[in-house]
Amino acid sequence: MREIVLDTETTGFEPEDGHRIVEIGCVELVNQIPTGETYHVYINPDRDMPTEAYDVHGISEEFLADKPRFTEVVQGFIDFIGDAKLVIHNAEFDMRFINHEFKMAGFPALPMSRAVDTLAIARKKFPGSPASLDALCRRYEIDNSSRTFHGALLDSELLAEVYLHLLGGRQHGLGLAGDNAGGARASAVLADIKRQSRPKRNFDVTPDELKAHKDMIENDLTDAIWKEGAA
């Protein structure tokens, strides 16, 4: 099973108000195991960067000036996600922006049924507790010290770890029984484990033990069938 953990950064909260995506980051999971494959792109939104948004992600209008437009990267994005489930924290927000960009670029919208919302999972699992990405990293002791700003790829990598914990821990999706890519990767990992070699253990028999054994055969096993055959 292939899933894509996804995050976006934007110029604001509402695409209907003219706000746009400026960054997309994706991490691939196969059978809930990170494969190391990622997708990351910055996007020129053809508009200014509000101060409120810059304070969140630190991406400036000047930095984005020479970056590609969404129409230039949309096919690469579609090719990467394929038909995989999309694992997103607060999925409604990101899906709204993605589908707004798709519409403007002339592509059909992605159905919400493709999205797995980790925010909803966390709220159901820990009702009444903080469920932000930072809060979940703290809960699961995931190091997010490098997250001084929001960043789509970094947040996707952190969310991938959180997602695996929400499902019950990293061992949840080893998938060793299958012959698919995830199972093959997991099997390869296990095959690389170095087994500790131990020296052969010798159990020397003492003279007293040898004598006791001989006495038992001669005195206690007089009717043994194997002794009659040997005679």
Q: What is the pLDDT of residue 50?
A: 98
Which candidate, 81, 120, 122, places its Cα nearest to that of 98? 81
- What is the pLDDT confidence band of residue 182, given thresholds at 50, 70 and 90? very low
Residue 176 has pLDDT above 90, yes or no: no
For residues 68 and 168, what is the distance between their CA atoms, to the nearest angstrom?
39
Furthest CA-CA distance within the chain: 105
Domain boundaries, the chain: 2-183
- Report the SS3 class of residue 215: helix
Which residues belong to the active site?
150
Amino acid in position 173: G
Q: Are 183 and 176 in contact (CB under 8 A)?
A: yes
Point out the least confidently predicted range of 61-65, 115-119, 199-203, 221-225: 199-203
| pLDDT tens per residue across span 126-152 | 999 999 999 999 999 999 998 878 999
96-111 tens-digit pLDDT: 999 999 999 999 999 9
> Both tokens of residue 87?
């694992």
pLDDT digits (tens, 9 = 90+) for 32-62: 999 999 999 999 999 999 999 999 999 999 9
Whether 19 contacts 170, CB under 8 Å: no
Q: Read off the tokens for 96.
A: 């709204």
Helix (H) or strand (E) holding 34: strand 33-42
Considering only CA atoms, which of 196, 147, 140 is closest in space to residue 166? 140
Predicted TM-score (pTM) of the model is 0.74
Question: pLDDT class for 183, splitting at 50, 70, 90?
Answer: very low
Average pLDDT score over the chain: 85
State which H helix or E strand residue 22 sits in: strand 21-30
> Is 3.30.2020.10 the CATH classification of the domain at 2-183?
no
Per-residue confidence band for 217, with pLDDT thresholds at 50, 70 and 90: low
